[in-house]
Amino acid sequence: MYRYIAGRMVAAIPVLVGISIVVFLLTSLIPGDVVTVMLGMMRSPQAEATLRRLFGLDQPIYVRYLVWMGGVLRGDLGVSLRTGEPVFHALVTRFPVTIELTVLSLIVGLIVGIPSGIIAAVKQYSKADYVVSVVSLSGVCLPDFLVGTLLVLIFALWLRVLPPTGYVGLRENPVQNLRLMILPAFTLGIGSAAVFMRMTRSAMLEVIHKDYVRTARAKGLTERVVLLVHAFRNALIPVVTVVGIDAGFLLSGVVIVETIFSLPGVGRLALDSVAMRDYPMVQGVVLLVATTFVLVNLVVDILYVYLDPRIRY
Amino acid sequence: MEGSFLALTLRRFLRNRTAVVGGLVLILLAIAAVAAPFLAPYDPREMHPAERLSAPSPSYPLGADQFGRDILSRLLYGARISLRVGFLSTGMALFLGLLLGLTAGYVGGWADTIISRILDIMFAFPFMLLAVSIMAVLGPKEVNVIITIGVVYAPIFARICRGSTLSAKENEYIQAARLVGASDVRIVIRHIMPNIMAPIIVQTTLSLATAIIAEAALSFLGVGTPPPAPSWGEMVSRGREFMELSPWGAIFPAVAIFTTVLSFNLLGDGLRDALDPLMQRAS
């Protein structure tokens, strides 16, 4: 098992290096740079040349990449060209907000999606199954920005029971933090719930007609034990796979939700950094999110071993 | 054989009422988009300051936005943008995906290794950040939105195509074709491609839905189709700012996006069910 984990970590390195090269090339191709953005109308050739030399932007692209990569290997992600703040510090400050949003969204998705999927499978072709199918399809068809917009309209503007935007740290004021995170978490969580509903229903339907489930019923076990201990446990593998994939998509989708609800996470940081041509910050965010995605996939693969003892790496 | 394949698929598809409804809605949408100049009561860019943020009325059936522009007219012309970007970007993703997937699956070896690593990198890259970065490089124009979405979605088609090709090339009819001297290009085009098209067709329909969402999302963030073009996503984004005074500017484009995406998904699910026995036989 440890050899498998080590092998996966080693295999992830070329993927992460490839991502760093792609993002470096992309940010270098963006017209203009942070110098033109900073100087604006007041630019002169001298001022531009001085600032470019200061930021190292006068170096060839491969030199800039190697310098940056050398820094990454030493734990130094560089400095924001816009604010002068160390990239590492900015990420450490803002990543917890994104993580909190992702975790809360996953919780919403799991609490709504998994029981609904189980009920729909157990009561196949009933009204409950039909409602779950309609709701899950609708959830898949509603993009994040639409859900967010509609939730703000209903709960913040019409009913006035929740604040529309803003963020307060969890340690600063836990109650207000959770109030402010309800709408963003449900915005992302509804889409996740729809996906989990569909996958749980499909996985449970495959399992509940198996012989061992029939045997468990014949032994006189209660329906709850049959479903949760025997059926659901064996339906978990595809569900866990989808949860893992969704965690990766959530990390990508937070860009829009953080923008709608003015959350100070890394998604919004990346969007602002692209607009301001702040390359080190963009590179830092992309590397962080991609690394997290790779680690989440690894955790999912390790979970398989605990869910199904027949799986061995 | 071909006639019976199409007839069988069509018969199975038509038995699925929700898929047929999805298809009909899309046909109506396409007609509305094409006929927009005749159906729209106003020019989508025409401003009537006196009617800013007005509610639905006989003169403005769906209300007016913050510049006094008719929302119905903008929705009709916006349908053109959504469908155009949806179809062209998906077509581009399909073309690139087929090229990469067929090469990786059929040639194998170093080609497969290099292409698979590229696909791994693209999949691990946060999608929205990749799209925003490419748009920042290319600039805010509709054609660049098409290119961006096409490039970002190509890996999905490439993976499906690669998997299906790896499976299809082991069939005996492929070996027979090689033995009679068929070239690799002929084998790929005449023998492999027709037998891997079922999952590709289903993915194409589903990708049309996600491409429309992607265009709307990029426009919502302000990096997609630039104003004053009536992109549905941009309409939701601008309408959001005035929701308290006049929610129509956000609600109606939201309904349009949802209806279109739902219809494509129903169509895709219906095609998957109709092609299912054939997909199983092909694999």
Task: State mean pLDDT over B243-256.
Answer: 89
Whether the per-residue pLDDT at A230 is higher than 90: the answer is no
Cα–Cα dist B212/B81, whole Å: 9
If you average pLDDT over residues B35-56, what whole number do you get?
92
Distance, CA of A87 to CA of A78 (rounded, Å): 6
pLDDT of B258 higher than 90: yes
Strand partners, B216: none
pLDDT of the residue at A213: 82
Does B87 score more than 50 pLDDT? Answer: yes
- Whole-number pLDDT of residue A311: 61
Report the alpha-carbon distance of residue B105 to residue B111 in Å, rounded.
9
Query: How far from chain centre, in Å, is Cα A82?
Result: 26
Helices A127-141 + A174-208 axis angle, to 10:
120
Closest CA to B264 of A199, A143, A290, A44: A143
Mean pLDDT confidence for B227-239: 89
- Give A246 or B216, the one with higher predicted confidence: B216
Closest CA to A144 of A32, A254, A305: A254
Q: How far apart are CA A164 and CA A262, in angstroms?
A: 9
Average pLDDT, chain B: 88
Does residue A304 carry a pLDDT above 80?
no
Say yes or no to pLDDT of A34 above 90.
no
Across the interface, do A18 and B121 touch by the CB < 8 Å criterion?
yes
**Minimum-distance CB partner of B221 among A30, A137, A271:** A271
If contacts are CB pairs under 8 Å, which of residues 72-111 in chain A contact chain B? none
> Which ipTM did the prediction report?
0.79
User: Among B162, B39, B155, B159, which Cα is nearest to B105's?
Assistant: B162
Whole-number Å distance between alpha carbons of A214 and A85: 62
Q: For residue B129, give the nearest of A15, A141, A252 by CB distance.
A: A252
Annotate B102-137 with DSSP letters as a single string: HHHHHH-HHHHHHHHHHHHHHHHS-HHHHHHHHHHH
For chain A, give the percent of residues with pLDDT over 70: 94
Nearest Cβ partner for A26 among B137, B209, B240: B137
Contact (CB, 8 A) for B145 and B225: yes
The pLDDT assigned to B77 comes to: 95
pLDDT for residue B3: 60
The reply to whether residue A253 touches residue B137, judged by beta carbons under 8 angstroms, is: no
Distance from CA of A223 to the nearest CA of B (A): 31
Tokens representing residue A89 in the block: 């510090």
In DSSP notation, A163-231 reads -SS----TTT-HHHHHHHHHHHHHHHHHHHHHHHHHHHHHHHHHHHTSHHHHHHHHTT--HHHIIIIII
Pick from A219-223, B148-152, B215-219: least confident: A219-223
The letter for the amino acid at B216 is A
Residues of B with CB under 8 A from a CB of A: 117-118, 120-121, 124-130, 132-134, 136-137, 139, 209, 213, 216-217, 220-221, 233, 236-237, 239-240, 243-244, 247, 250-251, 254, 257-258, 261-262, 265-266
Tell me: the pLDDT tens digits for B186-224?
A: 888 888 888 888 888 888 988 898 899 999 988 888 888
Which phi-psi region, left, alpha or beta, contains residue B54 (left: φ > 0; alpha: ψ -120 to 50)? beta
Which pLDDT belongs to residue A312? Answer: 61
Contacts 24+ apart (CB under 8 A), A260-263: A260/A145, A260/A148, A260/A149, A260/A152, A260/A165, A260/A184, A260/A187, A260/B240, A261/A148, A261/A164, A261/A165, A261/A166, A261/A167, A261/A180, A261/A183, A261/A184, A261/A187, A262/A165, A262/A166, A262/A167, A263/A97, A263/A101, A263/A167, A263/A184
Put simply, the answer to whether A31 touches B139 (Cβ < 8 Å) is: yes
Evaluate whether A137 touches A217 at the Cβ level (below 8 Å): no
Average pLDDT over residues A236-244: 78
pLDDT for the residue numbered B113 = 87
Q: Which of A131, A253, A242, A136 is nearest to A187 (CA)?
A: A253
What is the reported pLDDT for B279? 52
Distance CA B115, CA A203 (A): 32
CB A307 within 8 A of CB A17: no
State the Cα–Cα distance between residues A76 and A108, nearest whole angstrom. 36
Q: What is the pLDDT of residue B283?
A: 45
Name chain B contacts of A152, Cβ cutoff 8 Å: 240, 243
CB A103 within 8 A of CB A181: no
CA pair distance B25, B172, nearest whole angstrom? 42
Within an 8 Å CB–CB cutoff, is residue A244 touching chain B?
no
To the nearest whole Å, the CA of A286 is away from the closest chain B CA by: 7
CA distances in angstroms from A272 to A109, A153, A188, B188, listed in the order given: 28, 25, 21, 45
Range in A165-174, A212-221, A241-250 with the lowest mean pLDDT = A241-250
Of the pLDDT bands very low, low, confident and very high (cuts 50, 70, 90), residue A176 is very high
Q: Which of B6, B26, B33, B77 is nearest to B205 (CA)?
A: B26
With 80 as the cut, is the pLDDT of residue A116 above it? yes
The closest CB to that of A23, out of B127, B133, B240, belongs to B133
Going by C-alpha positions, the residue among B19, B159, B156, B30 that lies closest to residue B87 is B30
Structure tokens at B103: 């090469």
pLDDT band, very low/low/confident/very high, at B151 (cuts 50, 70, 90): very high
Residue B14 has pLDDT above 70, yes or no: yes
| pTM for this model (two decimals) | 0.84
